[in-house]
Amino acid sequence: MMRLNLRRIKAIAWKEFIQIRRDPRSLGLALAIPIFLLLIFGYGLSLDIDHVRTLVWNQDASSELTRDFLLNFQNSKYFKIIGYTDNYREIEHKIDSGQILLALVIPKDFSFYIKSGKTAPLQLIVDGSDANTATIALGYVRTVVANYNVNLLSSAMASQGLKPVKAPEARSRIWFNMGLVSTWFIVPGVIAMIIMIIAALLTSICVAREWERGTMEQLISTPVKAPELILGKLVPYFTIGFFDLTVGVLMARILFSIPFRGSYLILIILSALFLIGALSQGILISVVARTQLMASQLASLSTLLPTMLLSGFIYPIFNMPKVIQAVTYFIPARYYIVVLRESFLKGGSILALWDETVFLILFAAMMLGLAMRKFKKKVA
């Protein structure tokens, strides 16, 4: 069994610390990018759809019934009536220009149909270019109309001396995110994305840089073994990665008021595993690429796109095609995002995170082993 010399690892780590200090731009990016991304995604990306911009054409404006009906939209936080019109041309123009998402057209005989007990027609014109937003907006409209129908029917029955109709009441109990704030869901995912991308990008150029500058031959001629060189290079970036993690957690707690219900110890241990795997992946890319440009491109391609699209960061995995769902099992960020969201929102124990723990152990061991083995072949 190979014995590692701690003095050699310390010497390589100190050399790498000096190299990082001499490159203040890279260090500044490594420390500033997490803050920038958290601010951009935390404040700029929201899955909440409120205040749907709505234009109204009320062709039955003289009726009290239509005014009462519109009050249901005006008093709802999900709709924002930006104005009224009297023609389709303006509706078309405002939808084309993106000023409104929804147009509500109330026909001139709307109140007549209601008073006669018939089904009253109602026209909705929706901008369907964003299918998800349009679907949610239509759901809001159906809810408002359904509530109005129940109240209308109850009032009619009460006026006849009958017992008012009571609609079934669904009593919701929301766990973990009572206010349904999408920021609480997004920010932990951003932290995972930051750790994965920064870790892989930083280490992806550290070995390639040695080859380009001609200093690798000097390292090869020293007694330093390949595992000692890899571990020594990991230590400084591991420190930077944990600093970024700390900044992310503090910003989530203080700036975005996200609760932390889990164990900090569990988060530290599992974050360390994820960091080791991500850093080792960057080292492996650096060894294979041999040039800084190629290494940085490979690191971006292998971390940014999979983490953004296939980890469950934004898009639910269960909505993806079965083939893509199978691919997501090989995306490390998928498991680490679960760890972060469980730690912040659910307070899950190690038993609840057992599957994620096993995978992160395998990920760290496999990437570290491959990096050492591949580098060993290069210096042989």
Q: Is the pLDDT of residue 325 over 60?
A: yes
Distance, in Å, from the CA atom of 81 to the CA atom of 74, rounded to the nearest integer, reads: 7
137 Cβ partners below 8 Å, 6+ apart? Answer: 49, 52, 101, 102, 126
What's the pTM? 0.79
Coil vs helix vs strand at 81: strand
pLDDT at 105: 93
> pLDDT by residue (tens digit) across 64-73?
888 888 998 9
Higher pLDDT, 221 or 286: 286
89 in a structural domain: yes
Q: Is the pLDDT of residue 380 over 50?
A: no
User: What CATH number did the domain enclosing 94 receive?
Assistant: 3.40.1710.10
* Together in a domain, 20 and 139: no
Coil vs helix vs strand at 83: strand
Domains: count for the chain: 2
Task: Label the pairing between strands 123-126 and 79-84.
Answer: unpaired
* Together in a domain, 42 and 63: no
128 in a structural domain: yes
168 in a structural domain: no
174 in a structural domain: no
* Together in a domain, 227 and 337: yes
* Together in a domain, 148 and 187: no
Using the 3D structure, point to which of 95, 125, 159 is the last residue of a domain: 159
Higher pLDDT, 353 or 178: 353
* Together in a domain, 185 and 263: yes
Mean pLDDT, rounded, for 197-217? 75
* Together in a domain, 350 and 292: yes
Q: Is the pLDDT of residue 309 over 90?
A: no
Top mean-pLDDT range of 13-22, 135-144, 291-300: 135-144
Using the 3D structure, point to which of 159, 190, 219 is the last residue of a domain: 159
Q: Is the pLDDT of residue 379 over 50?
A: no
* Together in a domain, 78 and 133: yes
pLDDT at 44: 79
- DSSP letters, 234-296, are HHHHHHHHHHHHHHHHHIIIIIS-----S-HHHHHHHHHHHHHHHHHHHHHHHHHH-SHHHHH
Mean pLDDT, rounded, for 90-114? 90
Question: In this structure, how many other beta carbons lie within 10 angstroms of the beta carbon of residue 352?
Answer: 16
Distance, in Å, from the CA atom of 9 to the CA atom of 24, rounded to the nearest integer, reads: 23
Coil vs helix vs strand at 170: coil
Asked if residue 291 lies in contact with residue 378, where contact means CB atoms within 8 angstroms, the answer is no
Coil vs helix vs strand at 191: helix
Using the 3D structure, point to which of 126, 159, 192 is the last residue of a domain: 159
Q: Could you tell me the sign of the dihedral formed by the alpha carbons of 82, 88, 89, 95, in that order?
A: positive
Top mean-pLDDT range of 36-50, 300-314, 319-333: 319-333
Q: Which two tokens stand for residue 91?
A: 């509706």
- DSSP letters, 7-71, are HHHHHHHHHHHHHHHT-HHHHHHHHHHHHHHHHHHHHH------SEEEEEEETTTT-HHHHHHHH
Distance, in Å, from the CA atom of 375 to the CA atom of 288, rounded to the nearest integer, reads: 8
> Taking every pair of C-alpha atoms in the chain, what is the biggest distance, in angstroms?
99
Lowest mean pLDDT among 43-47, 212-216, 294-298: 212-216
Distance, in Å, from the CA atom of 106 to the CA atom of 147, rounded to the nearest integer, reads: 17
Asked if residue 285 lies in contact with residue 302, where contact means CB atoms within 8 angstroms, the answer is yes
pLDDT at 366: 94
Q: Is the pLDDT of residue 37 over 60?
A: yes
Asked if residue 240 lies in contact with residue 31, where contact means CB atoms within 8 angstroms, the answer is yes
* Together in a domain, 233 and 192: yes
Q: Is the pLDDT of residue 275 over 50?
A: yes
Higher pLDDT, 373 or 84: 84
31 in a structural domain: yes
* Together in a domain, 195 and 245: yes
* Together in a domain, 187 and 149: no
2 pLDDT tier (thresholds 50, 70, 90) = low
Higher pLDDT, 312 or 304: 312
173 in a structural domain: no
Q: Is the pLDDT of residue 48 over 80?
A: no
Q: Identify which of 329, 362, 193, 341 has the alpha carbon closest to the alpha carbon of residue 267.
A: 341
Mean pLDDT, rounded, for 111-138? 86
> pLDDT by residue (tens digit) across 333-377?
999 999 999 999 998 788 889 999 999 999 999 999 988 888 764
Strand ranges (E), 51-195: 52-58, 79-84, 102-106, 123-126
pLDDT at 328: 93
* Together in a domain, 32 and 57: no
255 in a structural domain: yes
365 in a structural domain: yes
pLDDT at 376: 60
Mean pLDDT, rounded, for 233-241? 88
* Together in a domain, 210 and 136: no
Distance, in Å, from the CA atom of 181 to the CA atom of 262, rounded to the nearest integer, reads: 19
Its domain, for residue 238, covers 8-46+181-379
Distance, in Å, from the CA atom of 111 to the CA atom of 61, rounded to the nearest integer, reads: 10
Higher pLDDT, 337 or 380: 337
Mean pLDDT, rounded, for 180-199? 87
Distance, in Å, from the CA atom of 209 to the CA atom of 294, rounded to the nearest integer, reads: 11
Q: Which two tokens stand for residue 286?
A: 């650096």
pLDDT at 167: 59
